[in-house]
């Protein structure tokens, strides 16, 4: 029996990167996948194709996770199309790094909307379905810098720390209805997001990691399989670092 056989997962920002790796790994475990991204483009179509080839039901939706209205509509549509939502992975996230001195108000607001408000939007919309089902697993993508902070990323770190507070609160609020909520805090993972960094900054990060390398999206996805499945049936309100001991 596969670990997520017959379940339905909704994963935000999953046309590429960590979100896509979670979608693929979940599908390999028999999970039907609804995923969103800002637009329907070639990445979304490719991801949809790769998921369907794994023999599960899969569909990509263009939806802005930062929009409350979009998120409500998305959850309603997915619930109709798939007949429920067992696992919500709030993965969508972006960076607008700068020193505080140079940070503009719009960069603060954008990061809060895309990284933090999105988690509220989707969880708020999904709770009705999960409450009715009396089960659910919510996984929120935080970051090690949400735990430790990082110079030049005050907006991003604050949004990721906010996710941790939200996660622990929801775990307490919805636990009695058999709904679990956990956060994953990846360290330095090799995706398009980290590819934006200059070569010397990337090398510097890698030197500081005890495992001496960046992680792969698949390594984050494996932890999300654990949190989405019954393997973690008594795990809720936790933050699991996936960082090669960078943050310990
Ligand atoms: P990525 O940039 O490769 O992929 C992010 C995806 O989210 C993209 O497909 C993008 O279009 C989508 N997205 C952006 N804004 C969106 C919105 N408003 N609505 C819907 N989708 C949206 O990034 P990556 O590296 O895969 O990151 C995924 C998550 O993991 C993010 O939350 C990020 O903050 C977090 N993370 C990543 C780390 C890394 O080292 N790559 C480390 C720690 C956390």
CATH number at residue 228: 3.40.50.720
Distance CA 158, CA 144 (A): 11
For residue 3, being part of any structural domain is answered with no
* Structural domains counted in the chain: 1
- List the structure tokens of 116: 């933090």
For residue 28, being part of any structural domain is answered with yes
For residue 248, being part of any structural domain is answered with no
Distance CA 164, CA 184 (A): 9
Convert the pLDDT of each residue in 8-35 to its tens digit: 999 999 999 999 999 999 999 999 999 9
For residue 157, being part of any structural domain is answered with yes
Q: Rounded to two decimals, what is the model's pTM? A: 0.98
The residue range of the domain holding 139 is 8-242
Convert the pLDDT of each residue in 132-162 to its tens digit: 999 999 999 999 999 999 999 999 999 999 9
For residue 2, being part of any structural domain is answered with no
For residue 234, being part of any structural domain is answered with yes
For residue 247, being part of any structural domain is answered with no
Helices (H), the chain: 17-28, 42-52, 68-82, 105-111, 118-133, 144-148, 154-174, 192-195, 199-208, 217-228
Which residue in 149, 146, 140, 148 sits closest to 162, CA to CA? 146
Q: Ligand 1: residues within 6 Å at CB?
A: 12-13, 15-19, 36-38, 64-66, 91-94, 114, 141, 143, 186, 188-189, 191-194
For residue 1, being part of any structural domain is answered with no
Residue 88 has a CB neighbour count (10 Å cut-off) of 30
Q: Over the chain, what is the mean pLDDT?
A: 97
Residue carrying the six token digits 């637009």: 39
Nearest-CA residue for ligand 1 atom 38 is 189
């Amino acid at each position: 029996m596969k670990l997520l056989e017959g379940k339905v997962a909704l994963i935000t920002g999953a046309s590429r990167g960590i979100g896509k790796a979670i979608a693929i790994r979940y599908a390999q475990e028999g999970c039907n996948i609804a995923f969103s991204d800002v637009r329907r483009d070639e990445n979304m179509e490719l991801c949809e194709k790769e998921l369907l080839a794994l023999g599960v039901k899969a569909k990509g939706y263009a939806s802005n996770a930062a929009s409350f209205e979009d998120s409500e509509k998305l959850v309603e549509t997915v619930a109709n199309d798939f007949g429920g939502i067992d696992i919500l992975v709030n993965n969508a996230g972006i960076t607008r790094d700068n020193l505080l001195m140079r940070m503009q108000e719009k960069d603060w607001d954008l990061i809060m909307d895309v990284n933090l408000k999105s988690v509220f939007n989707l969880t708020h919309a999904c709770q009705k379905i999960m409450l009715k089902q009396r089960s659910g697993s919510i996984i929120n993508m935080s970051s090690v810098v949400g735990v430790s902070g990082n110079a030049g990323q005050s907006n991003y770190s604050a949004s990721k720390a906010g996710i941790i507070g939200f996660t622990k609160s929801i775990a307490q609020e919805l636990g009695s209805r058999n709904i679990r909520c956990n956060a994953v805090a990846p360290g330095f993972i090799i995706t398009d997001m980290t590819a934006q960094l200059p070569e010397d900054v990337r090398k510097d990060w890698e030197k500081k990691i005890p495992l001496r390398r960046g992680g792969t999206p698949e390594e984050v996805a494996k932890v999300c399989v654990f949190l989405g499945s019954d393997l973690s049936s008594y795990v809720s309100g936790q933050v699991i670092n996936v960082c090669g001991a960078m943050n310990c």
